[in-house]
């Protein structure tokens, strides 16, 4: 077979203007929603109310304009023939608003025709499908949701195929696909040869639909939204005797889409060649070669279920680092003391005076050197913007003196203006110990259980309010997060930290932290749970704020609590809402126990 390339490569084709009748764009998503409601009512009626509610809420988060109101659309008229969706008018309304939001329509339109980008036009019907699968996945788990949606997608294609028996055979199909069009860029790029034995081979090298959906993170949801219907579509739309085989897809992160349309009137052999065949039929482009390199690298890195990153080195706490003590103090213990006082003032005002008195009493015991008096430093300047702490100047003085003492700053050092060298252990304790003492002292002021509850609320609030914008939502996928972990430990970086890293699977990133310098630095502080709150609790909300708003961290064991490891799973809830955390037997089994962990276990026993 002689293969030839057709179409044109232009990623900017998604930005190309395209004229549409905007009212037509809502018809397919509404019709699909109508029949998905009917399907769920028959196949899984228990989940239907939750599906309608969650779909409404999720799409509402993205809708900024009430187009139904702005355009004075008659919802009853639109839903007249949609018997199942008309029972849920609020959902129908938001689907319309969602579609028009994706199209980025203005609030005022002179006539039914309007220019939109080609990418937005594609997304206007693909993204609602993506959301349908995503919502089902959150309710049923990803595997069950996809299984169910496949059944629906097949059914829907059978019922609503826009045309049937488009081609009399694969030769006819080949001629139609390779004929010149008005805009070759809209085709993307595909490699084809004339059919042989009733089989039409096609390698799609650039997919405009995949380009339109590239910012949507879940590959399986994209595949279900854009590609899965092609299987039933081959026999329903193209020819009743056609069957499609397809293994690789760009939508799922592969180098290309490999597909064969088999005319079963000619040959029922449905064998699909391996990747070597598809690589060989036509030279790969530069971007495809790069994708293959990344996939091979990932395959090498993921070839074991788990692997160890980093190495055990508690002596790393003695490593020296440069810091500016005053700016670090204001950024961390001083600012955090201000925040917790404000939190108590809002949430438990009756205990504020008692808490401050106890803080003063306890910090007095902690401070060994009065650095501020020796340096004749005026603390009023950094306090002027700290609304809650500036009323309690003496407490701020104690806090700063305590911080400098934890750093073991020499009394003849100009800690106000100069950078100094401190050990990593002292640096970590200077940040963590104040949090430990703040919750410890809170538990002296009120019941321990209530103190812990309040402190957890405070940490969650702090994570939400003080995380800078450039540290928020840094990862689109768990694989991005995992890849950065490899970079963090590259060439022996981060000594003293040990992670047993798992692969990303079904929206879950599993890892076991076997050595933690935070826990090592704080090991002489006696209360296990306060250590955990100081060292680890921020990670729960931090995962959602710093990594991705759809991520949820589960963690049951923690080195800071005296456990031999931290057991962690980061769940991407866009893929799976099952937050089950494996038990201890699982975590013990994934990697051989290290010597230092055996000592910890013996000590716990």
State the pLDDT at residue 294. Answer: 75
State yes or no: pLDDT of 303 exceeds 70.
no
How would you class 210 by CB atoms within 10 Å of its CB: exposed for 0-12, middle for 13-18, buried for 19 or more? buried
The predicted-structure confidence for 194-253, as pLDDT tens digits, reads as follows 999 899 999 999 999 999 999 898 899 999 999 999 988 888 899 988 888 888 899 988
Beta-ladder partners of 204: 190, 257
State the pLDDT at residue 577. Answer: 62
* Other Cβ atoms within 10 Å of 491 Cβ, number: 5
Domain definitions of the chain by residue range:
4-293, 315-466, 473-604
State the pLDDT at residue 302. Answer: 36
Q: What sections of 505-548 are H helices per DSSP?
A: 517-521, 528-535, 538-542
Q: How high is the mean pLDDT of the chain?
A: 91
Mean predicted confidence (pLDDT) in 369-376: 93
State the pLDDT at residue 269. Answer: 67
Distance, in Å, from the CA atom of 604 to the CA atom of 559, rounded to the nearest integer, reads 12
Mean predicted confidence (pLDDT) in 371-380: 92
Mean predicted confidence (pLDDT) in 439-446: 98
User: Which residue matches tokens 């699968």?
Assistant: 133
The predicted-structure confidence for 33-58, as pLDDT tens digits, reads as follows 999 999 999 999 999 999 999 999 99
pTM over 0.75: no
State the pLDDT at residue 348. Answer: 95
Distance, in Å, from the CA atom of 255 to the CA atom of 227, rounded to the nearest integer, reads 15
Q: HEC profile for 279-298? A: HHCCCCCHHHHHHHHHHHHH
Distance, in Å, from the CA atom of 338 to the CA atom of 281, rounded to the nearest integer, reads 66
Confidence of residue 358 (pLDDT cuts 50, 70, 90): very high
Distance, in Å, from the CA atom of 71 to the CA atom of 545, rounded to the nearest integer, reads 37
The predicted-structure confidence for 531-542, as pLDDT tens digits, reads as follows 999 999 999 888
State yes or no: pLDDT of 301 exceeds 50.
no
Q: Of all residues in the chain, what percent carry a pLDDT higher than 70?
A: 97
Mean predicted confidence (pLDDT) in 336-358: 96
Degrees, nearest 5: CA angle 180-238-160? 115
State yes or no: pLDDT of 299 exceeds 70.
no
State yes or no: pLDDT of 298 exceeds 60.
no
Distance, in Å, from the CA atom of 395 to the CA atom of 403, rounded to the nearest integer, reads 12
Confidence of residue 598 (pLDDT cuts 50, 70, 90): confident
Confidence of residue 490 (pLDDT cuts 50, 70, 90): confident
State the pLDDT at residue 300. Answer: 47
State the pLDDT at residue 197. Answer: 87
């Amino acid at each position: 077979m002689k293969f030839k390339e057709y179409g044109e490569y232009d990623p900017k084709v998604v930005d190309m203007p395209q004229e549409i009748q905007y009212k037509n764009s809502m018809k397919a998503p509404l019709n699909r929603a109508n029949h998905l409601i009917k399907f769920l009512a028959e196949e899984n009626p228990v989940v239907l109310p939750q599906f309608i509610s969650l779909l409404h809420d999720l799409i509402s988060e993205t809708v900024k304009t009430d187009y139904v109101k702005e355009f004075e659309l008659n919802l009853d008229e639109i839903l007249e023939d949609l018997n199942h969706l008309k029972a849920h008018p609020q959902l129908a309304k938001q689907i319309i608003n969602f579609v028009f939001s994706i199209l980025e329509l203005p609030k005022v339109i002179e006539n039914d025709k309007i220019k939109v980008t080609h990418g937005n036009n594609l997304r206007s019907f693909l993204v609602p499908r993506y959301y349908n699968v995503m919502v089902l996945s959150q309710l049923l788990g990803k595997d069950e949701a996809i299984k169910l949606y496949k059944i629906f997608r097949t059914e829907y294609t059978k019922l609503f195929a826009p045309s049937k028996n488009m081609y009399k055979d694969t030769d006819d199909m080949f001629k139609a696909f390779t004929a010149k069009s008005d805009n070759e860029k809209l085709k993307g790029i595909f490699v084809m040869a004339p059919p042989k034995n009733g089989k039409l081979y096609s390698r799609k090298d650039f997919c405009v639909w995949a380009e339109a959906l590239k910012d949507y993170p879940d590959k399986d949801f994209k595949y279900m939204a854009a590609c899965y219907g092609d299987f039933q579509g081959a026999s329903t739309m193209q020819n009743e005797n056609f069957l499609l085989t397809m293994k690789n897809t760009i939508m799922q992160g592969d180098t290309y889409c490999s597909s064969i349309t088999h005319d079963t009137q000619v040959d029922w052999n449905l064998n699909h060649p391996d990747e070597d065949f598809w690589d060989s039929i036509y030279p790969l482009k530069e971007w495809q070669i790069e994708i293959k390199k990344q996939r091979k690298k990932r395959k090498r890195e993921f070839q074991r279920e788990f692997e160890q990153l980093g190495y055990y080195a508690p002596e790393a706490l003695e490593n020296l680092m440069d810091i500016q003590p005053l700016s670090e103090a204001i950024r961390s213990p001083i600012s955090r003391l201000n925040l917790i006082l404000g939190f108590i003032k809002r949430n438990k005002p009756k205990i504020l005076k008692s808490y401050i008195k106890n803080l003063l009493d306890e910090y007095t015991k902690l401070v060994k050197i009065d650095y501020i008096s020796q340096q004749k430093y005026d603390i009023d300047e950094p306090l002027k913007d700290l609304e809650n702490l500036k009323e309690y100047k003496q407490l701020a003085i104690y806090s700063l003196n305590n911080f400098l003492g934890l750093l073991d700053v020499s009394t003849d050092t100009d800690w106000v203006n100069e950078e100094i060298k401190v050990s990593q252990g002292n640096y970590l304790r200077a940040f963590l110990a104040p949090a430990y003492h703040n919750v410890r002292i809170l538990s002296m002021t009120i019941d321990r259980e209530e103190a812990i509850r309040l402190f957890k609320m405070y940490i969650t609030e702090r994570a939400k309010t003080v995380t800078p914008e450039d540290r928020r939502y840094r990862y689109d996928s768990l694989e991005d997060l995992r890849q950065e972990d490899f970079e963090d430990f590259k060439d022996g970086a981060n000594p003293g930290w040990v992670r047993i890293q798992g692969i990303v699977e079904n929206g879950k990133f599993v890892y076991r932290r076997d050595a933690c310098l935070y826990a090592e630095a704080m090991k002489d502080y006696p209360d296990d749970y306060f250590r955990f709150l100081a060292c680890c609790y921020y990670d729960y909300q931090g995962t959602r704020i710093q990594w991705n708003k759809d991520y949820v961290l589960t963690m049951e064991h923690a080195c800071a609590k005296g456990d031999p490891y931290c057991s962690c799973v980061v769940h991407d809830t866009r893929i799976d809402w099952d937050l089950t955390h494996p038990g201890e037997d699982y975590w013990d089994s994934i990697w051989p126990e290290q010597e230092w962990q055996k000592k910890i276990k013996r000590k716990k026993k």
